[in-house]
Chains A and B, each alone.
Chain A
């Protein structure tokens, strides 16, 4: 089987499992919505500050919702020794990584759409004027975040208290992906007062690609017994 075929099979498997129990996606969306709601309520008084606060609110919600999903991603494989099955299959471990990462990327992407929709209603902000830029930022930011989440989810699945372990690994290392995404999102929403919107996105993209490639190369050592 070609690698693309294997990646496709793993991705479809994850999507199908998710379609049948809808646990991960539902918890990610609800959790994300709750965070946006809480911040919206807490910042009620600061209407004029909305554009400054909104990017941080959204990316913090994305970060926390993401961690929920990444935890499930490999924890579910450990039940019934599915991970051993996958490891024993005569396929390149990196293809497993790509398949799982794409599934995480899709789940987090769907959760992001839900959160952004809620933010549009509650914060009364339109994302449409800068939609193209925002899509690019969201894609690259989520890509790097999901890549790190996938490899750390696989590592944390080997530990006690894996929810804590994943968070402790994920946040310091994904720190700049989040911070630069917040920065670029804010710039895009304010109509790029400093001009040069491509630079901010290029930085997010650069960091994300570096982390994605590093995770891709190192993943085989994570699965090795």
Chain B
């Protein structure tokens, strides 16, 4: 992967993608009729939501792979994905209220998708806190993999439970109403921004993974040096 598609190329691609995305969001996409300019945050909001969810799916699978095959790489992948996914999830929670206030008149409503995103955000926090609070780092991989798997089971349960909860609630208020005759230019902008944010997500994960690899090498070198030092 690194030889065929080096990080530098990935970086350039992301940069171009972001520029195109900004052009499309602010100049190409038409203004929404009822909400006006505010609606343009929709492209960033939805584009952040997808990587945030995908992050936990990756954590789930790499946790299973770690517990099964014991590959260090799977554990590092889960850790880095959690960090990057947490940032995207935070972006969803920040852009959401900014849009909700002018569109709905309130900053926050406990509607299905908001609740889900908030619970996902709490899961990311729990996962990352566990990583940093562990006393014995040797057991970190195992314990975090267990939390990653139970956390993903919880995400699935959230998706079902949110429909059972107080079913008299109306279905989510117009979240941009993508099904109700979205302008083709809007749809194109949305698709591009989702793609660009996914590419950005993987770029951040790769940079962070490389850092994790360097750290691991460094600690191995330190071990060897300390061992040699003790022999002298």
Contacts and interface: CB of A to CB of B under 8 A. Distances in A.
A159 B130 contact: yes
Interface residues on B, range: 20 to 34
A203 B129 contact: no
Chain B interface helix/strand/loop/mixed:
helix
B67 interface: yes
Interface string A145-176: 00010010001001111001100110111011
Interface string B135-166: 11011001101110111011001100100111
Nearest to B144: A155
Given A210-B157, A214-B149, A221-B145, A165 B123 contact: no
Interface string B108-139: 00000000000100110110011001111011
Given A165-B130, A214-B150, A221-B67, A160 B135 contact: yes
Interface string A77-115: 000000000000000000000000000000000000000
A179 B158 CA distance: 11
Interface in B43-99: 67
A151 B145 CA distance: 13
A165 B143 contact: no
A183 interface: yes
A221 B161 contact: no
B161 A180 contact: yes
A159 B165 contact: no
Top 9 closest pairs, chain A to chain B, by CB: A172-B122, A159-B133, A176-B161, A173-B154, A218-B146, A168-B126, A169-B126, A221-B142, A155-B143
Interface of A: 148, 151, 155, 158-161, 164-165, 168-169, 171-173, 175-176, 179-180, 183, 203, 207, 210-211, 214-215, 218, 221-222, 224-225
